Amino acid sequence: MSEEMTLEQKNKEETIDQVDVIAEGSGFLSKMDKNKKSQITNGVKGFVLGVFRWIIIIGIAYVIIGPVLGMISRSFFSDADNYNPMVYMIPESPTLERFKVAASTLNYKSTVINSLIYSLSLMVIQVLMCSMAGYGFARYNFPLKKLFFACVVLMIVVPTHTIMLPLYMTFSNFDVFGIISLINGKPLNLLSSAVPMYIMTFFSCGLRSGLYIYIFTQFFRGLPKEIEEAAFVDGCGVWYTYFRIMLRNATPAAITVAIFSLVWQYNDTFYARLFNISDSLVISKRIVGLQLTIGNVYKIYDPNILELYMDAGIILMMIPLVVIYILLQKQFVEGVERSGIVG
């Protein structure tokens, strides 16, 4: 019985196939025509869209790059060039005077090295501590986890300026459960040094740490659980698993966080102002007062000329960032895409 059934079915299928073939054959010519037409219209459409896209891209790229180019060219202007209306972009008598003065006023070499060390060390702490918290949130279950994660979101949402006063107070009379005043007689004043920043970053409450914890949590959630299970079966401890296996796998997220943290720390003036961190440590703080300092020291009273010095100073400040960005650009963009920065 069953054999007969299958035979019948086979026959049926074959006839259906034949019908299909015939149907295709009859409509073959008209289909060719249609394909050609739609190909041409598609080609034109694609071309127009492509042109349109490039117009937008080039326009926006110009808006972004334009000021940077303008700043670079203006930093080479001599006084005469600045007032010559015929000079646009290319200076007639280029001068390195602006860079020399700006560099000496900024005390460039030592300031840049100091602030790079400062931001890089904070970056390492940020990546370590925030990835730890993120890993904890993503992989372990403990009581009140949801509430704690809501607190992370709260850290992102609450603007830092809300808590700036208490922070200032906390660090001007720094004390841990009265231990320090017991030893020292009075609480420590940690302001005008970089210590508060390090303490806060170490407890992952530094500059935008909430965002970084969020990024790491989302990323670790996306990693397969099997990696850890294999490690566990092979006898890895929790910390070994985290440092040697999970952190390695989180490279894209780590690079994203690292670049964000480095750049924002390097550019930050809020905490630098709040904790009154010495401006030989934080170049961004020094650059704010650059125009005034140069005006006072070199007796230059023309604001237009002072702007040229400012341009040169900012270019000097940006150079390390741009170099790092160019070096890590590819990893950054790819890392951002894979790091699950989104929810």
Partner 1 sequence: MENKKFMTLTRRRSIKGFFFIVPWLIGFLWFYLRSLMLTVQFSVSELTVSPGGGYTLDFVGLDNFIYAFRAHGTFKQILTTSIGDMVVDVPLITFFSLLIAMLLNREFKGRTLVRAIFFLPVILNSDAIVGAMGIARGLMVGGLSNTSSEILDAAATTGVSVDYYIQMFTSLGIPTIFIQYVMGAVGRISDIINASGVQIIVFLAALQSIPGSMYEVAKIEGATAYETFWKVTFPMVMPHIITVVVYTVVDSFIDSEVVDLAYATAFDQNNYGLSSVFSLVSTLVTCLILGLTVYFIQKRTFYYN
Interactions with partner 1, residue window 48-107 (CB under 8 A): 50, 53, 56-57, 60-61, 63-71, 74
At 232, the amino acid letter reads F
# residues near partner 1 by CB under 8 A: 96
Contacts of 293 (CB under 8 A, 6+ apart): 105
Contacts of 219 (CB under 8 A, 6+ apart): 134, 138, 250, 252, 253, 339, 340
For residue 185 the two structure tokens come to: 């007689």
Q: Which of residues 193-212 bind partner 1 (CB under 8 A)?
A: 200, 202-205, 209
Cβ distance 328 to 320 under 8 Å? no
Minimum CB separation of residue 338 from partner 1 in Å reads: 8
325-332 contacts at long range (C-beta below 8 A, 24 or more positions apart): 325/259, 325/263, 328/255, 328/259, 331/252, 331/255, 332/255, 332/256, 332/259
* Residue of 256, 261, 159 lying closest to 215 (CA atoms): 256
Query: Residue 97 or 128: which CB sits closer to partner 1?
Result: 128
Query: Residue 19 or 238: which CB sits closer to partner 1?
Result: 238
Query: Residue 29 or 183: which CB sits closer to partner 1?
Result: 183
To the nearest 10°, the Cα dihedral for 261, 267, 273, 275? 30
Minimum CB separation of residue 100 from partner 1 in Å reads: 19
Query: Residue 19 or 158: which CB sits closer to partner 1?
Result: 158
Query: Residue 25 or 85: which CB sits closer to partner 1?
Result: 85
Q: Which of residues 105-134 bind partner 1 (CB under 8 A)?
A: 129-130, 132-133
Q: Which of residues 285-324 bind partner 1 (CB under 8 A)?
A: 287-288, 307, 310-311, 314, 317-318, 321-322
Minimum CB separation of residue 206 from partner 1 in Å reads: 9
Contacts of 304 (CB under 8 A, 6+ apart): 82, 83
Query: Residue 29 or 248: which CB sits closer to partner 1?
Result: 248
Contact flag: residue 336 with partner 1 (CB under 8 A): yes
Distances from the Cα of 229 to the Cα of 201, 217, 236, 253, 337, angstroms: 31, 18, 10, 21, 26
167-170 contacts at long range (C-beta below 8 A, 24 or more positions apart): 167/196, 167/200, 167/274, 168/274, 168/275
For residue 278 the two structure tokens come to: 């010495």
Minimum CB separation of residue 64 from partner 1 in Å reads: 6
Minimum CB separation of residue 136 from partner 1 in Å reads: 3
Minimum CB separation of residue 325 from partner 1 in Å reads: 5
Instruction: State the DSSP H helix or E strand holding residue 207, giving kind and residue range, or none if neither.
Output: none
Query: Residue 194 or 200: which CB sits closer to partner 1?
Result: 200
**Pattern 251-270, partner 1, x by CB under 8 A:** ---------x--xx-xxxxx
Query: Residue 9 or 329: which CB sits closer to partner 1?
Result: 329
Q: Which stretch, 4-12, 98-106, 109-117, 327-335, contacts partner 1 (CB under 8 A)? A: 327-335
Instruction: State the DSSP H helix or E strand holding residue 95, giving kind and residue range, or none if neither.
Output: none
Q: Which of residues 156-195 bind partner 1 (CB under 8 A)?
A: 156-170, 172-173, 186-187, 189
Minimum CB separation of residue 240 from partner 1 in Å reads: 12
